[in-house]
Chain A
Amino acid sequence: MIPAGPSPAIDGDMLLPAPRRGLPSPTMQHPSPERSTPSRPAKVFEAIARNEPHVTETHLSLQGDDAVLEVEQFQLHYGAMHALHNISMRIPRGKVTALIGPSGCGKSTLLRSVNRMNDLIDNVRIGGSMRLNGDPIYAPGVDVIELRKRIGMVFQKPNPFPMSIFENVIYSLRIDGESDKRVLAQTCEESLRAAGLWEEVKDRLQDSALRLSGGQQQRLCIARAIAAEPEVLLLDEPCSALDPIATGRIEDLIEELKGEYSILMVTHNMQQASRTSDCTAFMYLGRLIEYGPTDDIFLQPHLRETEDYVTGRFG
């Protein structure tokens, strides 16, 4: 087969030389602590409404972290609609980063941009750059297929393939042509154990995955993502279709995966974000408003808007 090339929707500005890894770009220059008083009047939303550019409030304590994923001045248009404005953030390695924000603010769009799933959509234009462990994601010559193999993604709704549990877990190995039965069985067990599903399904690996419960299916999807040993794991509202108990299990799972995997997670659940994540990013209308350690965002955010949002006064 002819391998799928990179997306045609490559804008000129992404060809600009990206700032070197490790050095914060000028826009990421952190504002002075004096500005970050939560009692400041809510001016940011008004500025956004006037379509003025917003400079992300990035907490200083994140600066030193080793980033697995760097997003720099990332722009995304769906046709005429400007869905992401100048997003710049560094996702720390081995930690859980939560993306929060009201519905439609572009969280999923940002997540899908990481593994270039937006390529599948017509009329998408992109600007800025992203790097995965230093390798550009949006550059001519990037093999999208190879790129996606390095990133795992779990969707909002559990989406197991209509095959056996075993085949679901080892799907990424199968498409790589792995046929060694020992390797397959071992990967399957390890991934299922990591996803906390092994004890429940070890006797029925050949059963259809569709017969699992919703929570089990979601953990199966996580196991499937883990089996590929991804460098980043993207979770898009992984618990929104689940009941509280299943949600709790997934949260425990995320807790366990922390350290070994770098996780970028979208959630609408503030408790979940505060419980499971290390860093939190608040987005609004395609802008990244504030980005900092979870404790700071929830307890002493720099911006009034963030505080309003996390305390439920708005959104």
Chain B
Amino acid sequence: MDTSQPSPSLRKRGRRERKTRRSVLVAERVARTAISLGGGLTIATVSLICVFLAWVVIPLFGAATLSPARSLAGGRASEPIVACATDEYASLMWVLERSGRVSVLRLDTGATLETLSVSEQAQPAALGFDAASNVVAVGTSDGAVRLATLSFAVSYPDTAGSGEVLSTLRPEERTPFAGGLAERLADGQVRCVRLELSISEPFELGTGAAKSPPRLLDLNVTEAGATVAALFEDGRLTVGALKRTTNMMTGAETLRFRGGDLPAPNAPQSEQPIALRLLGAGDNVLLVWRDGRGVRYDARELRSATAAESLELLQSADVELTRVGAALGERTVLVGDSKGGVGAWFRTRPEQAGTVDGARMARGHWFAGDGVAVTAVAPSATSRSFAVGRADGRFELYFLTSEKQLAEGRTPDGSAVDALCLSPREDALLVHSAGGWSAHQLASHHPEASVTALLRPVWYENYEQPEHVWQSSSGADDFEAKFGLMPLVFGTLKATFYSLLFGVPLALLAAIFSSEYLAPRTRVAVKSTIEIMASLPSVVLGFLAGNVVAPLVQNSLAAVLASFYCVPIALLLGARLWQLAPQGLVLRLVSWQRLLVITLALPLGLLTASVLGPWIEDVAFGGSLEGWLDMQHGGAAPGWFLLLLPVAAIGATFAIARLGGGWVRRVSQHWSRARCAQFDLLRFCATGVCACLFAALAAALLSAAGLDPRGSLLDTYAQRNALVVGFIMGFAIIPIIYTLSEDALSSVPEQLRQASLGAGATPWQTALRVIVPTAASGLFSAVMVGLGRAVGETMIVLMAAGNTPIMDWNVFSGFRTLSANIAVELPEAVEGDTHYRTLFLAALALFAMTFVVNTGAELVRQRFRRRAYQL
């Protein structure tokens, strides 16, 4: 506008009032409030999610709490206690003494409710106890054995019809009723718990003549039946199964023992074994001496049972074995010694066991004591927790698998603990010492979880060695859930690694191509097309991966693998052949040349792969790649050759450039364009030949050295595997990496590009030497964001990774990621239990991983912005 002629309105009003209008101010304030509110809410939501996750997870690592001791008035045992147990509600406890006397105690007052006996004789010759079924085998001096079943019966009597006693019972109050203990519950019902003792008819161990009294007895009751093992006073060892037969006429039941003698242990008669244990389902017998020697018998065939191995259960000679117990399931033997250590032994199946049954006992867990002898060991009836009592009155509660100490305490008078009892719900711990019984309330929530058990290899029962295992459920009853997070973290990393391996080079090369070679208008079109790719729902990609790509890849594995070689070679070769084309043609098609070469070379490469792949499979891999991968046939050399070929090609390219580069430059200075192109083609072929030679040599050497790629990077083929996931997830992360790195490349100041091009550099040289280094941190952060996306990606891995939580780098095996695991298992996890909380921990780990990755990417990007600003 010309200032010499101000508009009429301006002249009339003179100087225009320069005051911000009220509506602008209001809009400004509203916008600012809305934006800060939105930002604040976002941050608050994220923190809340984090807090919620942590809130669910933290109880996992809480220690158990043990209330102070409450002395029980009665029931002090005068004889050694053989076994004891409480009912489910921890209201009654029975205590079996060596004399066969069973006293029933009230746990609230400590009063003795009644006293029974499992034996008519004053002193039974031997007692054996099966904790799972609460059956006691009572051996008498005449060689007969009876089974006494001690079971708690729970009833809910009708209060109206049972007179005064129950109707006046106030809530929470307890009273003796009908031989048991009645309690009014909070909901008004009355619950009555009573111990029922039933004793079977006697049966004979062994036949006829041998009527020696048993010295040690053990019993194992399973659904299939009962097994009994006995060591007699005369040194005879017998094991056998009990058969229940019913007399058709009278209906009376009789028990019959069928079994055989085991070879007597070759130990001096003077030293008697101190414990006899039936292991597992009663198919193994363990005999243990005080000095730590042990013999395990294989008793799968009862009539021809033999000694399988002899053991040294203690580490040094000056230690004595004091207590032998068995953890839940009776497969793990707990051995306490005079120095306070407790070892947990179970059978493993190593490669070279050297025993008749191929198994070997191994000490899977070790709880080193502090020198005070172990005087009592009591397992839980419902979990792999166990309590240990010591000679100085201290006692501890441990969890076997995680080796975590849950709680510890001490008897009030400091006298030695001689018996311990854990209630089935693990809410009460009862301790017996010279001062009688004392009761503790126990609250232990997630004994199986600990930082080490979640993250370190854990030696699970019957495993050969400590391992990372995730196995949250199974069909078996006595199954122990295994919460090793490592396989899931590993699966996540594996998925990320393979998808980045596939996606990053493609995305970065595409970004370089479009920012450096494409005209701005084409670039915009290409970019928005690729961004549309990002909007493909990942469930669709997952479906494609699992149901289309996976079978396709499996059916034509050789061709697919061959295309990884053929396509790049075809593209490189195509570019070189294009240079040979007549100059006129090249100039006419100059802007289409790359597209032309790609559209010609790509299908040609694929075609070659589909022909060459099966041929190579026939020639080098015995006709079946899957069989070769499975180690069914063929040697290592062809595999090594193909694996090393890319490395060798890169090496050969560099070597040739290094050795002959200067010479070529001098010589070719005055060559014509066609001559240069021919030479380039020749050099390309020479490089290929050199690469093949290198790879063949290395393959021959490696396979001669006995190394095989199968077993690590390559292994048995699974249909849903890392290759398929890497392919499809790589496809899923390409758009985001491409977009961000294209932005980074385009934001490199134009003047740098001009300086480089102006100096006579080709676009490719400009990109590699100037643009990419300048944009490096932007590219890095693009890759990191892609990585973050790959880490959190769920649907693709869920549908295409096979969900097997195994840990190996094999390209052809499946895996399970943290995210897929949460998606699969959270719906069926019980709220609040260890599994549920561990899944939340997995979520927290995932959150932490993506948070760290994204924050790192953001930090790098901000640094990059500052640097770009400096330019």
Query: Are A174 and B758 in touch, CB under 8 angstroms?
Result: no
Is B661 part of the binding interface, using a Cβ–Cβ cutoff of 8 Å? yes
A305 to B237, CA, bound (A): 128
Is B465 part of the binding interface, using a Cβ–Cβ cutoff of 8 Å? no
Q: Which of A8, A115, A148, A180 contacts B590 (CB 8 A)?
A: A8
Q: Which of A122, A141, A146, A174 contacts B769 (CB 8 A)?
A: A174
CB within 8 Å of B: which A72-115 residues? 115
Q: A140-B587, A159-B749 are in contact. Are A179 and B758 (CB under 8 A)?
A: no
Query: Are B590 and A1 in touch, CB under 8 angstroms?
Result: no
- Chain B residue at minimum C-beta to C-beta distance from A234: B758
Q: Which of A18-26, A149-157, A191-199 contacts B (4 or more CB under 8 A)?
A: A149-157
Q: Which of B575, B586, B757 contacts A5 (CB 8 A)?
A: B586
A178 to B666, CA, bound (A): 10
Is B178 part of the binding interface, using a Cβ–Cβ cutoff of 8 Å? no
Residues of B within 8 A of A309 (CB): none
Q: Which of A2, A5, A140, A146 contacts B760 (CB 8 A)?
A: A146
Residues of B within 8 A of A171 (CB): 756, 759, 761, 769
Residues of A within 8 A of B870 (CB): 210
CB distance from B700 to the nearest CB of A (A): 33
A161 to B520, CA, bound (A): 23
Is B583 part of the binding interface, using a Cβ–Cβ cutoff of 8 Å? yes
Query: Are A175 and B761 in touch, CB under 8 angstroms?
Result: yes
Is B525 part of the binding interface, using a Cβ–Cβ cutoff of 8 Å? no
A264 to B303, CA, bound (A): 110
CB distance from B197 to the nearest CB of A (A): 89
CB distance from A119 to the nearest CB of B (A): 9
Residues of B within 8 A of A151 (CB): 758
Is A53 part of the binding interface, using a Cβ–Cβ cutoff of 8 Å? no
Query: Are A145 and B760 in touch, CB under 8 angstroms?
Result: yes
Is A177 part of the binding interface, using a Cβ–Cβ cutoff of 8 Å? yes
Interface centre among A2, A117, A148, A177 (most CB of B within 10 A): A2
Query: Are B583 and A2 in touch, CB under 8 angstroms?
Result: no
CB distance from B267 to the nearest CB of A (A): 80
Number of chain A residues close to chain B: CB under 8 A:
43
- Chain B residue at minimum C-beta to C-beta distance from A176: B665
CB distance from B443 to the nearest CB of A (A): 62
CB within 8 Å of A: which B710-752 residues? 749, 751-752
Query: Are B754 and A8 in touch, CB under 8 angstroms?
Result: no
Q: A161-B770, A179-B661 are in contact. Are A228 and B759 (CB under 8 A)?
A: yes
A117 to B749, CA, bound (A): 16
Interface size class of B (residues with CB under 8 A): 35 or more
Interface centre among B661, B673, B757, B773 (most CB of A within 10 A): B757
A179 to B664, CA, bound (A): 12
Is A224 part of the binding interface, using a Cβ–Cβ cutoff of 8 Å? yes
Task: Mark each residue of chain B from 660 to 696: 1 if its CB lies under 8 Å from any CB of chain A, else 0.
Answer: 0110010000000100000000000000000000000
A172 to B661, CA, bound (A): 17
Residues of A within 8 A of B755 (CB): 153, 155, 159, 161, 221, 224
CB distance from B863 to the nearest CB of A (A): 13
Is B763 part of the binding interface, using a Cβ–Cβ cutoff of 8 Å? yes
Task: Mark each residue of chain B from 568 to 586: 1 if its CB lies under 8 Å from any CB of chain A, else 0.
Answer: 0000000100110001001
Query: Are B593 and A2 in touch, CB under 8 angstroms?
Result: yes
CB distance from A209 to the nearest CB of B (A): 11
CB distance from B521 to the nearest CB of A (A): 7
Residues of B within 8 A of A150 (CB): 760
Is B26 part of the binding interface, using a Cβ–Cβ cutoff of 8 Å? no
Query: Are B590 and A6 in touch, CB under 8 angstroms?
Result: yes
Query: Are B662 and A180 in touch, CB under 8 angstroms?
Result: yes
Is B762 part of the binding interface, using a Cβ–Cβ cutoff of 8 Å? yes
Residues of A within 8 A of B593 (CB): 2, 5
Q: Which of B519, B751, B757 contacts A157 (CB 8 A)?
A: B751
Interface centre among B520, B597, B763 (most CB of A within 10 A): B763
Residues of B within 8 A of A153 (CB): 754-755, 758-759
- Chain B residue at minimum C-beta to C-beta distance from A147: B760
Interface centre among B590, B591, B867, B870 (most CB of A within 10 A): B590
Residues of A within 8 A of B774 (CB): 161-162
Query: Are B757 and A117 in touch, CB under 8 angstroms?
Result: yes
Q: Which of A6, A145, A177, A224 contacts B665 (CB 8 A)?
A: A177
Residues of B within 8 A of A174 (CB): 769
Is B594 part of the binding interface, using a Cβ–Cβ cutoff of 8 Å? yes
Query: Are B519 and A122 in touch, CB under 8 angstroms?
Result: yes
A157 to B749, CA, bound (A): 11
Is A163 part of the binding interface, using a Cβ–Cβ cutoff of 8 Å? yes
A285 to B751, CA, bound (A): 25
Is B764 part of the binding interface, using a Cβ–Cβ cutoff of 8 Å? yes
Is B871 part of the binding interface, using a Cβ–Cβ cutoff of 8 Å? yes
CB distance from B772 to the nearest CB of A (A): 11
Residues of B within 8 A of A146 (CB): 760
- Chain B residue at minimum C-beta to C-beta distance from A122: B519
Is B36 part of the binding interface, using a Cβ–Cβ cutoff of 8 Å? no
- Chain A residue at minimum C-beta to C-beta distance from B574: A2
Is A16 part of the binding interface, using a Cβ–Cβ cutoff of 8 Å? no
Residues of A within 8 A of B757 (CB): 117, 120, 148
Task: Mark each residue of chain B from 519 to 563: 1 if its CB lies under 8 Å from any CB of chain A, else 0.
Answer: 111000000000000000000000000000000000000000000
A2 to B595, CA, bound (A): 12
Is B45 part of the binding interface, using a Cβ–Cβ cutoff of 8 Å? no
CB distance from A168 to the nearest CB of B (A): 9
Query: Are A148 and B586 in touch, CB under 8 angstroms?
Result: no
Is A64 part of the binding interface, using a Cβ–Cβ cutoff of 8 Å? no
Is A4 part of the binding interface, using a Cβ–Cβ cutoff of 8 Å? yes
Is B632 part of the binding interface, using a Cβ–Cβ cutoff of 8 Å? no
A86 to B575, CA, bound (A): 40
Residues of A within 8 A of B597 (CB): 2
A143 to B871, CA, bound (A): 30
Is A17 part of the binding interface, using a Cβ–Cβ cutoff of 8 Å? no
A5 to B587, CA, bound (A): 7
Q: Which of B575, B661, B751, B769 contacts A175 (CB 8 A)?
A: B769
Residues of A within 8 A of B587 (CB): 5-6, 140-141
Residues of A within 8 A of B665 (CB): 176-178
Is B599 part of the binding interface, using a Cβ–Cβ cutoff of 8 Å? no
Is A41 part of the binding interface, using a Cβ–Cβ cutoff of 8 Å? no
Query: Are A4 and B759 in touch, CB under 8 angstroms?
Result: no
- Chain A residue at minimum C-beta to C-beta distance from B868: A162
A4 to B594, CA, bound (A): 10
Is A3 part of the binding interface, using a Cβ–Cβ cutoff of 8 Å? yes
Interface centre among B521, B756, B867 (most CB of A within 10 A): B756
Query: Are B575 and A1 in touch, CB under 8 angstroms?
Result: yes
Residues of B within 8 A of A5 (CB): 586-587, 590, 593
A162 to B593, CA, bound (A): 32
Is B33 part of the binding interface, using a Cβ–Cβ cutoff of 8 Å? no
A171 to B759, CA, bound (A): 8
Is B471 part of the binding interface, using a Cβ–Cβ cutoff of 8 Å? no
- Chain B residue at minimum C-beta to C-beta distance from A180: B662
Q: A2-B578, A2-B597, A4-B763 are in contact. Are A117 and B754 (CB under 8 A)?
A: yes
Residues of B within 8 A of A159 (CB): 749, 751-752, 754-755, 871
- Chain B residue at minimum C-beta to C-beta distance from A115: B758
Query: Are B871 and A162 in touch, CB under 8 angstroms?
Result: yes
Query: Are B761 and A179 in touch, CB under 8 angstroms?
Result: no
The 8 closest A-B pairs by CB, nearest first: A149-B760, A5-B590, A159-B751, A148-B760, A153-B758, A175-B761, A1-B764, A159-B755
What are some 27 contacts across the A-B interface (CB < 8 A)? A3-B579, A4-B762, A122-B521, A140-B587, A143-B673, A145-B760, A147-B760, A148-B760, A149-B760, A151-B758, A152-B758, A153-B758, A153-B759, A159-B749, A159-B751, A159-B871, A161-B770, A161-B774, A162-B752, A163-B773, A171-B761, A172-B759, A175-B765, A178-B665, A179-B662, A210-B871, A228-B759
Binding site for A on B (CB under 8 A): 519-521, 575, 578-579, 583, 586-587, 590-591, 593-594, 597, 661-662, 665, 673, 749, 751-752, 754-765, 769-770, 773-774, 867, 870-871
Additional 12 contacts, C-beta under 8 A, given A145-B762, A153-B759, A171-B769: A3-B579, A4-B590, A5-B587, A117-B758, A148-B757, A148-B758, A152-B758, A153-B758, A162-B867, A175-B760, A175-B761, A210-B871
